[in-house]
Amino acid sequence: MITQTHYLVLSTALFFIGVVGVMTRRNVIVILLSIELMLNAVNINLIAFSYYLKSEIGQVFAIFVICVAAAEAAVGLGIILAFYRNKETVNIDEMNLMRW
Amino acid sequence: MEGQLAFYVLSACILGFAVLVITARSTVHGILFLVLDFLFVAGLYVLLQAQFVAVIQVLVYAGGIVILYLFVVMLVNLKRPPEAHKDRHRRGRLGVALSLVVLAEFVMIALFGYVGPGVGAEGGGLSVRNVERVGWMLYTDYLVPFELASVLLLVAMIGAIVLARREL
């Protein structure tokens, strides 16, 4: 029988893969993709609890998370485009304009 | 039994494609793996009787957001990919170590956190008129967050347009 724990382990593993992607990759686009993976792990958590608690509130919040992910993708990709136009690269190591 | 098999197959596909997303050398390949990953996550939502969110997942994520990523990758024509940089393992080891710290944190929470009694799983009236019930909840109890989400999307749209202007 599949319990809540199975879903929690799955979403933890997916979140961890996303963290590894953010920490190890240099390409800003891949880092944004990893953030999408982490948001999906959160959504799996919300939907699993909605199923096991027999309540739709988790699904409502999953819809809000998807909404925030869409906003994040739009603004993030806009920043990447503006940065690329200035410096001709998407390497995160060269994003040091505002470093103190 | 079929539910168990479906869960394990879907989980294996989700985790496998997630690993492929972050290890793919080509960004375009990574984005295509992400589409497959989102489709399997949508399958998991169907398994959890959240049909409406599954459809939204396919439409918004796999159909909208990922296509946006593909557009940007096509616009950002990379002549020198970031990974072809010197001393490329310097950041990598530190990153893996920091990620392991995050994983250890999750494990500690799981081990020492409060775990309530498991809620009985089988059967659920969730799938009955799923869209109607989610919509009802969105437009009654969660009306203010719903409207705030629309404002958030408007702000994000204006921000993206301003950022993508030529004379920034």
Q: Under CATH, what is the fold of the domain B1-79?
A: Four Helix Bundle (Hemerythrin (Met), subunit A) (1.20.120)
Contacts of B43 (CB under 8 A, 6+ apart): B6, B10, B54
Tell me, rounded to whole angstroms, the distance of Cα B137 from its chain centroid. Answer: 23
B123: left (phi over 0), alpha (psi -120 to 50) or beta: left
Contact B21 A69 (CB under 8 A): no
Are A59 and B51 a contacting pair, CB within 8 Å? no
Domain ranges of chain A: 4-89
Residues of B in contact with A71 (CB under 8 A): 152-153, 155-156
A29-48 pLDDT, tens digit per residue, is: 999 999 999 999 999 999 99
Question: Which tokens in the block code for residue B77?
Answer: 């024509």
Contacts of B149 (CB under 8 A, 6+ apart): A64, A67, A68
Question: Which tokens in the block code for residue A73?
Answer: 């993708």
Residues of A in contact with B102 (CB under 8 A): 16, 19
Contact B137 A81 (CB under 8 A): no
User: Is residue B66 helix, strand or coil?
Assistant: helix
Are B22 and B35 a contacting pair, CB within 8 Å? no
Backbone angles phi, psi at B114, to 5 degrees: -75, 130
Per-residue DSSP letter, B121: -
Amino acid code (one letter) for A61: F
pTM value? 0.83
Please give the C-alpha separations between residue B122 and each of A69, B42, B45, B129, in angstroms, as whole numbers: 31, 20, 16, 18
Q: What is the mean pLDDT of residues B124-134?
A: 72
pLDDT band per the 50, 70, 90 thresholds, residue A18: very high
ipTM of the complex: 0.90
Answer whether A92 touches B (CB < 8 Å): yes
B67-125 pLDDT, tens digit per residue, is: 889 888 888 866 555 555 555 555 667 778 888 888 888 787 777 765 554 444 444 45
pLDDT for residue B152 is more than 50: yes
CATH 1.10.287.3510 for the A4-89 domain, yes or no: yes
Are B44 and A14 a contacting pair, CB within 8 Å? no
Nearest to B83 among A23, A26, A53 (CB): A26
Amino acid code (one letter) for A92: I
In A38-67, the residues whose Cβ lies within 8 Å of chain B are 40, 43-44, 47-48, 50-54, 56-57, 59-60, 62-64, 66-67
Please give the Cα distance from A30 to A70 (Å, whole number): 16
Please give the Cα distance from B71 to A60 (Å, whole number): 29
Are A52 and B121 a contacting pair, CB within 8 Å? yes
What is the end-to-end Cα distance of chain A in Å, rounded?
A: 53
Question: Which tokens in the block code for residue A64?
Answer: 């809000």
The partner residues of A91 in beta bridges, in order of sequence, read A27
Q: What is the mean pLDDT of chain A?
A: 89
Are B35 and B18 a contacting pair, CB within 8 Å? no
Residues of B in contact with A29 (CB under 8 A): 27, 31, 69, 72-73, 76
What's the maximum distance between 2 C-alpha atoms anywhere in chain B?
A: 59
Q: What is the mean pLDDT of residues B1-7?
A: 84
Please give the C-alpha separations between residue A39 and each of A19, B6, B38, B44, B83, in angstroms, as whole numbers: 11, 22, 11, 15, 25
B34-60 pLDDT, tens digit per residue, is: 999 999 999 999 888 888 899 899 888
**What pLDDT is recorded for position B123?**
46
